[in-house]
């Protein structure tokens, strides 16, 4: 599942940049989301206080993670939720397959879950003869075309109405061509309601897991999450092990900042708290609820005090909405389950910093992501750290693939760079040459060639500032 | 501000200003002098070390950074005509030197670092008198000036003091221009797309000049505008302010 | 990847927890400052207005009623909308009151009185609306709090195309956070609890809002003013 050779972000990004439709779709969508988020936080002090509180809650939960997980497991079990643990995606997939087989389940309806994307669960189940159908409208749209999500919250954001209209008319039985969003939505509703009714099992992710009460919290607008978790006789939930917090009171501010940061909504349509299967006397709800807790590299990330901040993420997507790179290339260019800034720090830590070296450098370090992140993950700082890890094998580091991105050329270049810049006399000489002959550098020289793809060649001034200050004299020390 | 204003400061040119925008550096020095401050420009300045730091070559970055810190021994403010390099020295030097034997010394240095407009407004509280003809300008905010250094409108406040200058809002003012140091040559396609969009947004303002605090943004957006054969240019704010306020 | 492989899932649990414990995480726990939540408070009358405004912004419809008139208000709505039937919980407090006041003719009351397996198909295809009570509301953002259970099964507020919910103004809390505290949800929760702020919606097609994608297309709140 993981790349063995370096994946070049530059190549796929360059390809995406050539698609004007894609760029227009993303630009329009991201501009809209940025405005909607801003409108949700009219008071900067309130925003900062809420961010501080959310950050504290997430950091605190991570500090006590092993204990919280155990407490959570005990309470889930008490409530009748069966808890399973998986170290790898393969294990998690096998677990789910065996749960489904035990109930002789042939069809599974899914609510949105990025962890299941991480596991490539759909493909695995299909290969084992089980139909896995996405029911979130966005996920349904991309599943029809065999695509992956291009955004963690809005999976079909790369497509516009016309593209979806064409797709529905071709792929849904008895569907006529229409660009009316209400009619398109109604078509999906018709297909999916039948599926909910017939499905043997439902699968969901988990937005927040509550240790104190053994509760799974799901945030959604459509109701497909409730359908998937309440209608079929069997509900399976999957979550990354970092999702647990102490109490529902801790969840409240996280939920408040999640929806506002994600889609600029004060609140989602539904906030669903599941604390067990069908209870005594209940007439509906699943007879069985299972939960799979997945590691997949998270415990390794957890071990590093700086990188642990990565696990604070509540998957709101604000970092991608505000990212100037993501806005231009879209989610697929990342060739990873998690795109955008969070993907840029998460993917290399899961797959190895060497094979994802180019992705780690696919950022101008502008800091827009860290500025909006509701749990204040210092994404640019972590990127710089991962760049370090990619080229160095430092003692005490446990980062996956550390040091494997090192090349002799880059090493040599930085040594040369430092060699000149730490010697004022050498720099002075280099500056003298640059100012006198910089003009003569060929535009096709390496690196300069990259610069001049879209810019004119930079030409140094005739005399450097130092030279002029020297000439002025007196004020030098 | 009740604290006595400093009478003497250090000036750190930065490598981009040194080589590409010496006029901006000179202008920054003149603005400080105009405000009654004595400016010391230590010999031997090279680069703050940011490129190597950002690429993970921390030993190399430290080697270079250490040499810069040594140039500013006295307890005087250090003024930079660049938000990005000031951010490096003020915010990232302490990270870079964390656990090093000279950590305390570096931290003391970092505490004295200011970006030029920040110093002019927040510390010197300068009052500018506009001597220039009416002109419309727009403002490109540098990512690091705002996000690392926490600039909160100081440059705009200075522009606002000039009676004949109209400040036109730039669409997506806080979006990165695409420079990003090594990013511009490592990811030239994305960087180029960002730069072209920034150039287009700047052109759409109808301003006759774009102002900014950072050599990187200047180099990048100007190169892009020139490649597009646009007459518009980005000018360093120090140069613009100096041109409009000094009696010739 | 060099993660240790294990054969059984008990081993997975042990290995994962072991790795997490091995990480040096100990340190003083940061203390959350909840002032930003505490300062969101409004008088009761204003809570009612805020809730309504927030929910109307996402297409929730409101019917005004008093403790005495609400069953008639529900009835008038059902007849007016031409609903063929209304699913209700015959053992819930609100359900009992509704049934007691329901005159024959027009919209038929339909009790949810058997396991869903016995009438799943009918539930999905033959029910026009569902009626539930609520255990409270949230003023800050707008929202209803529900505790489905034996008396009011989970699917009543989800599957029928119209959901009618009864809300007493006196049960509206300032924020979700204060509601969680007041209802004791931080300590114990029933198998299912729920916050609902409007009818089901999606913006997955070109960011354009569409209502009724999977759940109810209409949410009708019968707001009972019991503040006097
Ligand atoms: S990193 Fe922050 S902004 Fe990005 S998805 Fe996670 S929580 Fe949201």
Residues A327-358 pLDDT 10s? 999 999 999 999 999 999 999 999 999 999 99
Provide the 10 A C-beta neighbour count for residue A103.
Answer: 16
Q: Are B24 and B239 in contact (CB under 8 A)?
A: yes
Q: Are A246 and A211 in contact (CB under 8 A)?
A: yes
Distance CA B75, CA A419 (A): 28
Residue B64: list chain A partners with CB under 8 A: 417-418, 421-422
Whether A383 is in the pocket of ligand 1, judged by its Cβ within 6 Å, is no
Distance CA A124, CA A127 (A): 5
What tens digit of pLDDT does each residue of C68-115 get? 999 999 999 999 999 999 999 999 999 999 999 999 999 999 999 999
What tens digit of pLDDT does each residue of B110-137 get? 999 999 999 999 999 999 999 999 999 9
Assign C38 a pLDDT band (cuts: 50, 70, 90). very high
Percentage of chain A with pLDDT > 90? 93
Distance CA A45, CA A48 (A): 5
Q: In Å, what is the CA distance from B231 to each residue of B137, B203, B209, B222, B227? A: 14, 9, 9, 10, 10
Which residues pair with residue C194 across a beta bridge?
A272, C146
Please tell me the predicted confidence (pLDDT) of residue C13: 97
**In a domain? residue B32:** yes
- Strand-pair category, A288-294 with A81-86: parallel
Distance B193 CA to ligand 1 centre (A): 24
Query: Quick check: C92 contacting A, CB < 8 Å?
Result: no
Assign C8 a pLDDT band (cuts: 50, 70, 90). low
Please tell me the predicted confidence (pLDDT) of residue B84: 97
**Binary contact (A454, B182; C-beta < 8 A):** no
Distance CA B154, CA B53 (A): 27
Whether residues B158 and B55 fall in one domain: no
Whether A317 is in the pocket of ligand 1, judged by its Cβ within 6 Å, is yes
What tens digit of pLDDT does each residue of C39-75 get? 999 999 999 999 999 999 999 999 999 999 999 999 9
Nearest CA to ligand 1 atom 8: A316
Distance CA A40, CA A34 (A): 10
Residue B179: list chain A partners with CB under 8 A: 364
Please tell me the predicted confidence (pLDDT) of residue A439: 83
CA neighbor of A263 nearest in space, from A186, A210, A188, A315: A315
Please tell me the predicted confidence (pLDDT) of residue A446: 81
Q: Are B171 and B204 in contact (CB under 8 A)?
A: yes
What tens digit of pLDDT does each residue of A131-176 get? 999 999 999 999 999 999 999 999 999 999 999 999 999 999 888 8
Q: Give yes or no for residue C121 having a pLDDT over 90.
A: yes
CA neighbor of C141 nearest in space, from C37, C34, C33, C64: C37
Would you call B164 helix, strand, or coil by DSSP? Answer: coil
Whether residues B105 and B17 fall in one domain: yes
Q: Which of A137, A230, A295 sits opposite C204 (nearest CB)?
A: A137
Whether A315 is in the pocket of ligand 1, judged by its Cβ within 6 Å, is yes
Would you call A433 helix, strand, or coil by DSSP? Answer: helix
Q: Is B203 left (phi over 0), alpha (psi -120 to 50) or beta?
A: alpha
Distance CA A105, CA A235 (A): 11
Whether residues B117 and B134 fall in one domain: no
**Binary contact (B67, A435; C-beta < 8 A):** no
Q: What is the mean pLDDT of chain B?
A: 96
Q: Give yes or no for residue C133 having a pLDDT over 80.
A: yes
Residue A14: list chain B partners with CB under 8 A: 189-190
Provide the 10 A C-beta neighbour count for residue A115.
Answer: 23
Percentage of chain C with pLDDT > 70? 95
Q: What is the CATH number of the domain that holds B184?
A: 3.40.50.11810
Q: Are C199 and C215 in contact (CB under 8 A)?
A: yes
Domain residue limits at B167: 127-245
**In a domain? residue B168:** yes
**In a domain? residue B1:** no
Give Cα C132 to chain centroid, integer Å: 9
Please tell me which residue of chain A has the smallest CA distance to C180: A249
Q: Give residue for tokens 């309601």.
A: A193
CA neighbor of A324 nearest in space, from A34, A70, A71: A34
User: How deeply is A20 buried, as exposed, middle or buried, from its count of CB atoms within 10 A (0-12, 13-18, 19+)?
Assistant: exposed
Assign A7 a pLDDT band (cuts: 50, 70, 90). confident
What tens digit of pLDDT does each residue of A89-145 get? 999 999 999 999 999 999 999 999 999 999 999 999 999 999 999 999 999 999 999
Whether residues B202 and B103 fall in one domain: no
More confident residue, A187 or C26: A187
State the pTM of this model.
0.96
Give the containing element (helix H, strand E) for C108.
strand C108-111
Please tell me the predicted confidence (pLDDT) of residue C5: 42
Distance A368 CA to ligand 1 centre (A): 11
Q: Which two tokens stand for residue C8?
A: 């059984």
Which residues pair with residue A271 across a beta bridge?
A219, C195
Count of residues making up chain B: 248
Instruction: Tell which atom from ligand 1 comes closest to the C-alpha of A316.
Output: 8
Distance CA B187, CA A16 (A): 13
Nearest CA to ligand 1 atom 6: A313
Distance CA A42, CA A63 (A): 32
Distance CA A308, CA A299 (A): 9
Whether residues B107 and B141 fall in one domain: no
Q: Which domains does chain C have, with CATH numbers?
A: 44-224 (3.40.50.10420)
Percentage of chain B with pLDDT > 90? 97
Would you call B15 helix, strand, or coil by DSSP? Answer: helix
Among the candidates B76, B99, B122, a domain finishes at B122
Distance CA B221, CA B179 (A): 8
**Binary contact (C17, A282; C-beta < 8 A):** no
Q: Which two tokens stand for residue C123?
A: 């539930």
Please tell me the predicted confidence (pLDDT) of residue C25: 64
* Mean pLDDT for the stretch of residues A286-314: 97
Whether residues B232 and B134 fall in one domain: yes
Give the containing element (helix H, strand E) for C202.
strand C201-202
Q: Give yes or no for residue A1 having a pLDDT over 90.
A: no
CA neighbor of A305 nearest in space, from A397, A430, A192: A397
Distance CA A153, CA A135 (A): 14
Query: Quick check: A46 contacting C, CB < 8 Å?
Result: yes
* Mean pLDDT for the stretch of residues A404-417: 96
Assign A440 a pLDDT band (cuts: 50, 70, 90). confident
Q: Give yes or no for residue A205 having a pLDDT over 60.
A: yes
- Residue C219 dihedral angles phi and psi, to the nearest 5°: -120, 120
**Structural domains of chain B, count:** 2
Q: Which two tokens stand for residue B221?
A: 């957006």
* Mean pLDDT for the stretch of residues A57-66: 96
CA neighbor of A107 nearest in space, from A193, A202, A196, A199: A199
Whether A314 is in the pocket of ligand 1, judged by its Cβ within 6 Å, is yes
**In a domain? residue B28:** yes
Distance CA A403, CA A353 (A): 8
Q: Which two tokens stand for residue B173?
A: 């003012």
Q: Are A226 and A193 in contact (CB under 8 A)?
A: no
Distance CA A240, CA A50 (A): 24
Alpha helices (H) along C23-110: 35-38, 44-56, 70-81, 93-101
Q: Print burial letters for C174-202: b (CB count within 10 Å at least 16), e (below 16).
A: bbbbbbbbebebbeebbbbbbbbbbbbbb
Provide the 10 A C-beta neighbour count for residue A70.
Answer: 15
Please tell me the predicted confidence (pLDDT) of residue A5: 77
Give the containing element (helix H, strand E) for C136.
strand C136-138
Percentage of chain A with pLDDT > 70? 98
Q: Give yes or no for residue B1 having a pLDDT over 60.
A: no
**Binary contact (A9, B67; C-beta < 8 A):** no
**In a domain? residue B3:** no
Would you call A311 helix, strand, or coil by DSSP? Answer: helix
Please tell me the predicted confidence (pLDDT) of residue A2: 52
Q: Residues 347..386 of A with a Cβ closer than 8 Å to B: which? A: 358, 361-368, 370-371, 381, 384-386
Whether residues B131 and B44 fall in one domain: no
Whether residues B99 and B75 fall in one domain: yes
Query: Quick check: A156 contacting C, CB < 8 Å?
Result: yes
Query: Quick check: A272 contacting C, CB < 8 Å?
Result: yes
Whether A316 is in the pocket of ligand 1, judged by its Cβ within 6 Å, is yes
Whether residues B135 and B239 fall in one domain: yes
Distance CA A202, CA A146 (A): 20
Whether residues B49 and B89 fall in one domain: yes
Distance from CA of A359 to the nearest CA of B (A): 10
CA neighbor of A220 nearest in space, from C197, C138, C147: C197
Query: Quick check: A415 contacting B, CB < 8 Å?
Result: yes
Query: Quick check: C177 contacting A, CB < 8 Å?
Result: yes
Say which residues have a Cβ less than 8 Å from residue B211's Cβ, sequence separation at least 6.
B137, B138, B139, B140, B155, B159, B234, B235, B236, B237, B240
Q: Print burial letters for B125-159: b (CB count within 10 Å at least 16), e (below 16).
A: ebebebeeeeeebbbbbbbbbbbbbebeebbbebb
Distance from CA of B242 to the nearest CA of A (A): 16
Would you call A158 helix, strand, or coil by DSSP? Answer: coil
Query: Quick check: A477 contacting B, CB < 8 Å?
Result: yes
Whether residues B240 and B136 fall in one domain: yes
Would you call C196 helix, strand, or coil by DSSP? Answer: strand
Largest CA distance in chain B: 54
C203 HSE (CA, 13 A, CB side): 17
Assign C3 a pLDDT band (cuts: 50, 70, 90). very low
What tens digit of pLDDT does each residue of A232-246 get? 999 999 999 999 999
Q: Which two tokens stand for residue B91?
A: 């915010």
Distance CA A246, CA A248 (A): 7
Distance A13 CA to ligand 1 centre (A): 21
Q: Which domains does chain A have, with CATH numbers?
A: 1-40+310-406 (1.10.1060), 41-296 (3.40.50.10420), 418-472 (no CATH)
**In a domain? residue B220:** yes
Whether residues B143 and B114 fall in one domain: no
**In a domain? residue B207:** yes
Among the candidates B55, B90, B122, a domain finishes at B122
Among the candidates B97, B122, B147, a domain finishes at B122
Residue C19: list chain A partners with CB under 8 A: 295, 299-300, 302-303
Please tell me the predicted confidence (pLDDT) of residue C28: 79
């Amino acid at each position: 599942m993981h790349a063995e050779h370096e994946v070049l972000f530059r190549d796929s990004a360059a390809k995406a940049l050539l698609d004007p439709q894609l760029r227009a779709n993303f630009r329009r969508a991201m501009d809209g989301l940025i405005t909607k988020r801003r409108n949700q936080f009219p008071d900067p002090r309130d925003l900062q206080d809420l961010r501080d509180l959310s950050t504290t809650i997430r950091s605190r939960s991570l500090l006590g993670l092993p204990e919280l997980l155990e407490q959570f497991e005990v309470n889930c079990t008490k409530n009748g939720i069966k808890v399973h643990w998986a170290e790898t995606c393969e294990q998690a997939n096998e677990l789910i397959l065996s749960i489904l087989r035990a109930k002789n389940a042939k069809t599974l309806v899914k609510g949105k879950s990025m962890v299941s994307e991480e596991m490539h669960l759909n493909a695995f189940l299909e290969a084992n003869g089980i139909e896995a159908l996405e029911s979130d409208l966005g996920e349904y749209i991309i599943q029809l075309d065999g695509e992956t999500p291009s955004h963690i919250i809005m999976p079909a954001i790369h497509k516009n109405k016309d593209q979806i209209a064409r797709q529905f008319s071709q792929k849904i039985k008895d569907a006529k061509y229409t660009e009316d969003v209400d009619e398109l939505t109604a078509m999906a509703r018709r297909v999916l309601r039948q599926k909910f009714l017939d499905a043997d099992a439902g699968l969901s992710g988990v937005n927040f897991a509550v240790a104190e009460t053994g509760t799974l919290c799901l945030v959604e607008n459509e109701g497909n999450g409730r359908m998937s978790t309440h209608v079929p006789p069997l509900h399976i939930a999957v979550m990354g092990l970092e999702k647990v917090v102490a109490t529902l009171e801790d969840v409240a501010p996280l939920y408040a900042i999640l929806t506002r940061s994600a889609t600029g909504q004060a609140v989602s349509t539904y906030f669903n708290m599941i604390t067990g299967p069908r209870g005594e006397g209940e007439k509906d709800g699943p007879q069985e609820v299972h939960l799979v807790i997945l590691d997949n590299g998270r415990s390794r990330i957890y071990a590093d005090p700086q990188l642990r901040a990565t696990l604070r993420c509540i998957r709101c997507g604000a970092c991608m909405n505000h990212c100037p790179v993501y806005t231009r290339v879209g989610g697929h260019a990342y060739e990873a389950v998690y795109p955008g800034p969070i993907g840029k720090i998460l993917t290399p830590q899961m797959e190895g910093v060497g094979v994802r070296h180019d992705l780690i450098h696919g950022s101008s370090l502008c800091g827009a992501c860290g500025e909006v992140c509701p749990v204040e993950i210092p994404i640019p700082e972590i990127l710089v750290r991962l760049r370090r890890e990619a080229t160095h094998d430092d003692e005490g580091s446990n980062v996956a693939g550390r040091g494997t991105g090192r090349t002799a050329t880059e090493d040599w270049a930085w040594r040369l760079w430092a060699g000149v810049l730490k010697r004022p006399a050498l720099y002075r000489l280099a500056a003298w040459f640059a100012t006198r002959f910089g003009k003569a550098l060929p535009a096709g020289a390496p690196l300069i060639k990259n610069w001049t793809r879209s810019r004119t060649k930079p030409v140094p001034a005739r005399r450097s500032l130092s030279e002029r200050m020297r000439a002025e004299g007196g004020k030098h020390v | 501000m009740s604290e006595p204003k400093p009478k003497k400061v250090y000036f750190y040119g930065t490598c981009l200003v040194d080589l590409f925008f010496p006029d901006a550096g000179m202008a920054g020095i003149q603005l400080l002098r105009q405000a009654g401050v004595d400016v010391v420009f230590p010999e031997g300045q090279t680069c703050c070390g940011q490129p190597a730091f950002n690429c993970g070559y921390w030993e190399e970055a430290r080697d270079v950074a250490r040499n810069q810190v040594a140039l500013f021994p006295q307890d005087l403010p250090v003024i930079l005509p660049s938000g990005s390099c000031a951010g490096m020295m003020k915010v990232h030097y302490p990270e870079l030197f964390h656990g090093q034997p000279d950590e305390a010394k570096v931290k003391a240095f970092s505490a004295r670092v200011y970006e030029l407009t920040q110093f002019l407004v927040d510390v010197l509280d300068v009052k500018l008198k506009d001597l220039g003809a009416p002109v419309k300008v727009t403002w490109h905010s540098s990512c690091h000036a705002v996000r690392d250094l926490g600039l909160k409108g100081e440059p705009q406040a200075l522009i606002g003091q000039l009676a004949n200058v109209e400040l036109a809002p730039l669409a997506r003012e806080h979006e990165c221009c695409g420079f990003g140091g090594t990013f511009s040559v490592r990811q030239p396609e994305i960087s180029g797309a960002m730069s072209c969009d920034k150039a287009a947004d700047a052109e759409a303002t109808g301003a006759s000049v774009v102002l900014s605090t950072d050599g990187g943004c200047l180099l990048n957006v100007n190169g892009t505008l020139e490649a597009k054969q646009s007459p518009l240019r980005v000018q360093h704010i120090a140069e613009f302010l100096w041109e409009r306020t000094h009696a010739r | 990847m060099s993660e240790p492989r294990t054969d059984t899932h008990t081993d997975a649990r042990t290995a994962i927890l072991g790795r997490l414990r091995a990480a040096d995480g100990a340190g003083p726990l940061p203390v959350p400052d909840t002032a930003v939540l505490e300062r969101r408070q409004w008088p009761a009358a204003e809570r009612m207005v805020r809730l309504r405004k927030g929910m109307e912004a996402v297409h929730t419809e409101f019917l005004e009623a008093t403790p005495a008139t609400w069953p008639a208000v529900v009835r008038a709505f059902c007849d007016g909308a031409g609903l063929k039937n209304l699913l209700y919980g015959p053992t819930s407090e609100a359900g009992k009151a509704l049934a007691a006041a329901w005159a024959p003719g027009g919209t038929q009351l339909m009790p949810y009185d058997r396991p869903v397996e016995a009438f799943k198909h009918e539930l999905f295809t033959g029910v026009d609306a569902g009626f539930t009570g609520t255990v409270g509301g949230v003023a800050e953002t707008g929202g209803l709090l529900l505790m489905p259970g034996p008396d009011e099964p989970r699917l009543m507020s989800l599957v029928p195309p119209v959901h009618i919910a009864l809300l007493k103004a006196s049960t509206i809390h300032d924020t979700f956070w204060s509601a969680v505290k007041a209802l004791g949800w931080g300590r114990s929760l029933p198998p299912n609890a729920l916050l609902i702020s409007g009818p089901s919606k999606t913006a997955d097609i070109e960011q354009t809002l569409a209502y009724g994608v999977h759940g109810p297309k209409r949410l009708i709140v019968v707001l009972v003013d019991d503040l006097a």
